[in-house]
């Protein structure tokens, strides 16, 4: 054994010289040789856990995941529908009271335990392991339909390299314009008929759309290539995918504010209507937007932070990433309102011109008011894909050099979607590879198979009725399960592990005290807010039958249709399947206790992948506790060996083999 430890120390010294850490034997993980055979003990080797190459890569990854398509189309829509500046104030309030504390909790948990979501909550208590599995299931559901939206962006990006744009004018049929296009608009016709070739309802399946299927395949290939080396490859991609959207947004803002009507649109954005604060549904929408904007409950925040050195200032990161997310939402809303204000002013001018030929006196009177402008602008309140693929694309047809601006816009959407998709996939791959050693040893194969399965299941979204399934997954597969997951997460840290104990751990980890206000946020404010959001969401589902927006080909217009019975069964199944791992994990842990297995035996059954810390933390950044220089916080003690080498503490987490 002495020779063994001498070999280990020599390897430690060489690793500091070469910046490579060789695998080290894990204490207690060797097989005893049979007596009399003269065999040396067999030692299990561990490889170091991956880490970010730089803090910039980590920051861009967190920002890229949290800043997504919702910042560009959902936040502007909610701002328009719910009082403009009043909604922004409400959003900021909920971001400070709920968003930042919960975001900080996930950052700190992942960084301290250095595991994915499964390992983090199993570490807190084996009964809570189902929380991590629920996060993985929700991430998988989201990845299925989110990559379809990326495929749509690829299709529009390819269609932007034509002049004039294909959705700029209506196609002709015989001696006239296509009836469906003339009754709606060129952009709506191109979206519903050329891009989606959509059916009239979710009951009509239709055949596959070959072009969108090819775009979906391309999207999954891009994701696979960016993820196949884990964060080593993802981090490099983030330099472009996270930064480029801001360049495009600034270009659109500069171009937008110079357009006629942009100032009216921006005024409409900031005009406050504080009476909307009395509407419970507005609070629900603001809280939901905060919830999804920061990516809470997905496990992706935990996954990314688990690759950080333990003395990283995650408290500062929580405020920085949240602030960037908020500023991005406001910047995107400025761009959207400026461009759509220009579109509305153009439509209003055309309205006045048409009226002028029939009622000149009435038209002159309207010129002195904003009645038509306001009426036209309210009609722009389309949500989600409609804002990006219909209203905004129509506005860009009015720009000089419209193909350039169109290509720039959809390239921005592509990068926003991909950066969020990388984080979503990390929320699946990291917890599972940390938990199961076989998957850890075959990361590339596991990543490729996951993407292949995602593509095959995603074919359901490339049918002619696929857009309706996208809406179903977007509305119901993530919202309720994620709210429940975050409630359990907060309860686990604040009450099961203990808020005071967790704050003390963070003080040791960060070498600075954490404001005690977080204790009350985690124990009272956040749970009450999340329970209120859950109650409001459930109440809305019970009182209002779920509906979806369908496109009627004969009427050439949208209409709200109730989901049929089988669709209600599907969306209910999605919610149950996403939440089911939580009670299953709890019951499984109770059964293990009844069978007499110790917690150590139960945890050993997971056979977690190696999570050796690659950072070298100086002694002065981790103060000793109780006078013991090698002591660590309770959260960090489990499964750790501590080696002192050249004035640094190195951490090695062993896995049960």
Cα 533-75-423 angle, rounded to 5 deg: 80
67 annotated among ligand-binding-site residues? yes
Residues in the chain: 657
Cα 248-253-259 angle, rounded to 5 deg: 130
Gap between the Cα atoms of 374 and 370, Å rounded: 6
Element (H, E) at 645: strand 640-645
The two tokens of residue 369 are 């008011």
User: Is there a contact between 468 and 558 (Cβ–Cβ < 8 Å)?
Assistant: no
64 annotated among ligand-binding-site residues? yes
Gap between the Cα atoms of 324 and 60, Å rounded: 11
The two tokens of residue 654 are 């062993």
Gap between the Cα atoms of 127 and 283, Å rounded: 33
Question: What is the secondary structure of 402-452 as a DSSP string?
Answer: HHHHHHHHHHHHHHHHHHHHHHHHHHHHHHHHHH-HHHHHTHHHHHHHHHH
Structure letter (DSSP) for residue 194:
I
Find all residues with CB under 8 Å of 441, minimum gap 6, and list them.
Answer: none
Gap between the Cα atoms of 353 and 260, Å rounded: 17
Question: What is the secondary structure of 354-383 as a DSSP string?
Answer: HHHTT-HHHHHHHHTS-HHHHHHHHTT---
User: Is there a contact between 299 and 135 (Cβ–Cβ < 8 Å)?
Assistant: yes
Find all residues with CB under 8 Å of 377, minimum gap 6, and list them.
Answer: 264, 265, 268, 340, 341, 344
Phi, psi dihedral angles at 476 (to 5 degrees): -125, -20
Kindly tell me the sign of the dihedral angle through the C-alpha atoms of 456, 458, 462, 468: positive
Gap between the Cα atoms of 206 and 208, Å rounded: 7
User: Is there a contact between 123 and 115 (Cβ–Cβ < 8 Å)?
Assistant: yes
Question: What is the secondary structure of 300-336 as a DSSP string?
Answer: HHHHHHTTS-TTS-HHHHHHHHHHHHHHHHHHHHHHH
Find all residues with CB under 8 Å of 336, minimum gap 6, and list them.
Answer: 72, 73, 76, 387, 392
Gap between the Cα atoms of 130 and 435, Å rounded: 13
416 annotated among ligand-binding-site residues? yes
Q: What is the CA radius of gyration of the chain?
A: 27
Residue (of 536, 475, 644) closest to 9 by Cα position: 644
Question: What is the secondary structure of 340-358 as a DSSP string?
Answer: HHHHHHHHHHHHHHHHHTT
User: Is there a contact between 597 and 289 (Cβ–Cβ < 8 Å)?
Assistant: no
Phi, psi dihedral angles at 650 (to 5 degrees): -115, 140
CA atoms within 13 A on the CB side of 545: 9
Residue numbers belonging to the annotated binding site for Na(+): 64, 67, 71, 325, 416
Q: Which residues are annotated as a binding site?
A: 64, 67, 71, 325, 416
């Amino acid at each position: 054994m002495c020779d063994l430890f001498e070999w280990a120390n020599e390897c430690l010294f060489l690793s500091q010289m070469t910046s490579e850490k060789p695998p080290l034997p894990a204490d207690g993980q060797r097989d005893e040789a049979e007596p009399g055979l003269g065999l040396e003990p067999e030692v299990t080797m561990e490889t170091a856990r991956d880490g970010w190459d730089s803090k910039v890569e980590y920051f861009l990854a967190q920002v890229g995941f949290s800043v997504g398509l919702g910042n560009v189309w959902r936040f502007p829509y909610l701002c328009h529908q719910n009082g403009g500046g009043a909604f922004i104030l409400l959003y900021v309030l909920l971001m400070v009271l709920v968003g930042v504390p919960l975001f900080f909790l996930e950052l700190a948990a992942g960084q301290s335990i250095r595991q994915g979501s499964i390992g983090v909550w199993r570490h807190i208590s084996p009964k809570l392991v189902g929380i991590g599995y629920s996060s993985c299931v929700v991430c998988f559901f989201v990845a299925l339909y989110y990559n379809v939206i990326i495929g749509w962006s690829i299709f529009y990006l390819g269609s932007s390299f034509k002049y004039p744009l294909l959705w700029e004018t209506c196609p002709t049929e015989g001696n006239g314009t296509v009836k469906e296009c003339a009754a709606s608009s060129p952009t709506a016709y191109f979206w519903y008929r050329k891009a989606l070739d959509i059916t009239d309802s979710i009951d009509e399946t239709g055949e596959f759309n070959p072009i969108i299927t090819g775009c979906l395949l391309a999207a999954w290939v891009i994701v696979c290539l960016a993820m196949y080396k884990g964060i080593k490859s993802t981090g490099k991609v983030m330099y472009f995918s996270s930064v480029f959207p801001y360049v495009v947004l600034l270009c659109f803002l500069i171009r937008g504010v110079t357009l006629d009507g942009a100032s009216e649109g921006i005024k409409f954005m900031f005009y406050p209507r504080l009476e909307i604060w009395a509407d419970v549904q507005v609070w629900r929408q603001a809280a939901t937007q905060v919830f999804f904007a920061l990516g809470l409950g997905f496990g992706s925040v935990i996954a990314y932070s688990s690759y950080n050195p333990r003395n990283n200032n995650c408290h500062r990161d929580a405020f920085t990433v949240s602030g960037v997310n908020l500023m991005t939402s406001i910047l995107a809303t400025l761009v959207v309102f400026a461009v759509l204000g220009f579109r509305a002013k153009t439509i209003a001018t055309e309205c006045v011109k048409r009226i002028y030929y029939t009622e000149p006196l009435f038209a002159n009177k309207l010129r002195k008011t904003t009645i038509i402008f306001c009426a036209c602008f309210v009609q722009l309140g389309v949500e989600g894909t409609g804002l990006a693929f219909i209203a905004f694309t129509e506005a860009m047809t009015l720009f000089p050099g419209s193909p350039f601006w169109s290509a720039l816009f959809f390239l921005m959407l592509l990068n926003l979607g991909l950066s969020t998709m990388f984080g979503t996939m990390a929320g699946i791959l990291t917890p599972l590879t940390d938990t199961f050693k076989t998957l850890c040893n075959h990361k590339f194969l596991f990543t490729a198979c996951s993407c292949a399965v995602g593509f095959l299941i995603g074919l359901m979204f490339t049918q002619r009725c696929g857009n309706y399934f996208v809406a179903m997954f977007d509305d119901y597969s993530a919202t309720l399960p994620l709210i429940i997951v975050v409630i359990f997460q907060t309860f686990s840290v604040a009450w099961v592990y203990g808020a005071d104990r967790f704050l003390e751990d963070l003080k040791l980890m960060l070498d600075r005290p954490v404001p005690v206000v977080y204790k009350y946020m985690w124990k009272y404010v956040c749970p009450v807010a999340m329970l209120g959001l859950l109650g409001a969401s459930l109440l809305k589902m019970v009182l209002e039958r779920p509906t979806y927006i369908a496109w009627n080909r004969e009427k050439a217009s949208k209409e709200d249709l109730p989901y049929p019975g089988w669709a209600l069964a599907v969306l209910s199944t999605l919610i149950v399947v996403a939440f089911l791992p939580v009670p299953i994990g709890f019951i499984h842990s109770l059964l293990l206790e009844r069978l007499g297995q110790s917690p150590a035996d139960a945890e050993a059954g997971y056979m977690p992948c190696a999570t050796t810390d690659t950072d070298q933390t100086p002694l002065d950044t981790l103060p000793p506790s109780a006078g013991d220089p090698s002591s660590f916080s309770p959260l960090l003690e489990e499964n750790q060996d501590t080696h002192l080498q050249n004035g640094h503490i190195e951490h090695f987490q062993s896995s049960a083999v």
